[in-house]
Structure 1
Amino acid sequence: MLFAFTVILLVVCGALWLAANHYRDNAIIYKAQRDKKASELELANATITDMQQRQRDVAALDARYSRELADARAENETLRADVAAGRKRLRVNATCPGSVREAPTTSGVDNATAPRLADIAERDYFTLRDQLMTMQKQLEGAQEYIRTQCTKLAFYYPEDT
């Protein structure tokens, strides 16, 4: 009877040892999985935070250059309106050739007006000025975007192995 009790006790102890070892192995595996997922979650949160900061930076950059472009366009429109109303003049840096001045004239009236652009040339000037300001602000904005955003290090998810 003592022998049977000893055998049963050994079998029960062996079964308990196997069960404990099984649960210990599972606990180690689950802990490793938990640590890996916690690390991935931390990386994902850091990536989200970085993306949100970049979006705020880009929005501020866009607002700044949009405001500068709107100001430049308003200045151009003000100048156009002033020229049209006669408050300001658009001058041409031109000189007359010497032979024209020295030519004898029968008329005693000098040409008192300064050289002036034709109306279509004046409109073209303002259009080109507006396009130049637009291109310049777009270029400055793109350069600052590249300088401030494209050169930053970003968080990336590690590849699954």
Structure 2
Amino acid sequence: MTINPLRLVLLLVLASLLAWCTFDWVADQRDTARSERDSAQSEAQGLREAARISGEMLAARDRIDLQRTEELNSAQEKNDALQRDVDAGNQRLSVRATCRPVVSAASSTGSVADAGTAELATDARQDYFTLRSQLALSKQMILGLQDYIRQVVMRSPATDSSQQSMETTP
């Protein structure tokens, strides 16, 4: 059985065309896989960077919280110590006050007996210490929020990464 040369050429052309199409399809699959791999690596790097930045922000928040909590506890301890001293009679709560003499039309001179220093009434003392505690709490909350805004919120990750790249550039 002999094969016609024209059929042989046609068979070789078809086989070559099939091999070329198969090679082209495999090359396209390879290129697609590479681009997907590169995209996944880029996304993974972005997620790692986001996780690093989030970790730094959480650490900064925790440092601020710890500092402000310690300051608040110190202020509360001072307030409690003052309250114990006042209750024990070791200290007094003085009120800055001035007494104006009452001058009547009938007498040209008026006088007031010297009653000593003005002092906070005993029933108002608890309110005073409550207000001091609330003031200390409010102060630490405000300072903590200001620190958080300055150190965490206002910190731009893009600025940090550009500064890092500038530092590494010779």
Residue 90 in structure 1 maps to residue 98 in structure 2 = no
Q: Which residue type is aligned with residue 144 of structure 2? A: G
Ranges in structure 2 where 5+ consecutive residues have no aligned partner: 104-108, 159-170
Q: Is residue 143 from structure 1 mapped to residue 151 from structure 2 by the alignment?
A: no
Alignment map for 1:148-159 (pairs within 5 Å): 148-153=151-156
- 2:41 aligned with 1:38: yes
Distance 1:2 1:67 in 2: 98
Distance of 1:147 and 1:136 partners within structure 2: 16
Q: Which has the higher contact order (CA 8 A, sep 6+)?
A: 1
| Aligned equivalent of 1:118 | 121
Instruction: Provide the rounded CA distance (Å) in 2 between the counterparts of 1:17 and 1:115.
Output: 105
Partners of 1:103 and 1:139 in 2: CA distance: 48
**C-alpha displacement of 1:148:** 1.5
Match 1:63 to one of 56, 66, 75: 66
Count of aligned residue pairs for this structure pair: 150
Question: Does the alignment pair 1:103 with 2:111?
Answer: yes
Aligned residue for 1:18? 21
Separation in structure 2 between the aligned mates of residue 153 and residue 114 of structure 1, nearest angstrom: 56
Conserved in 1, the CA contact under 8 Å of 2:92 and 2:119? no
In structure 1, give the amino acid aligned to 2:44.
Answer: L
Give the whole-Å Cα distance in 2 for the aligned partners of 1:72 and 1:53: 29
Distance 2:68 2:20 in 1: 71
1:48 aligns with 2:51: yes
SS for the counterpart of 1:88 is: coil
Q: What TM-score results when the alignment is normalised by the length of structure 2?
A: 0.78
Identity %: 27
Partner of 1:159: none
Matches within 5 A, 1:4-15: 4-15=7-18
Query: Normalising to structure 1: TM-score of the pair?
Result: 0.82
Gaps of 5+ in 1: 105-109, 156-161
- Quote the offset at 1:99 in angstroms: 4.7
Q: Distance in 2 between matches of 1:61 and 1:114?
A: 42
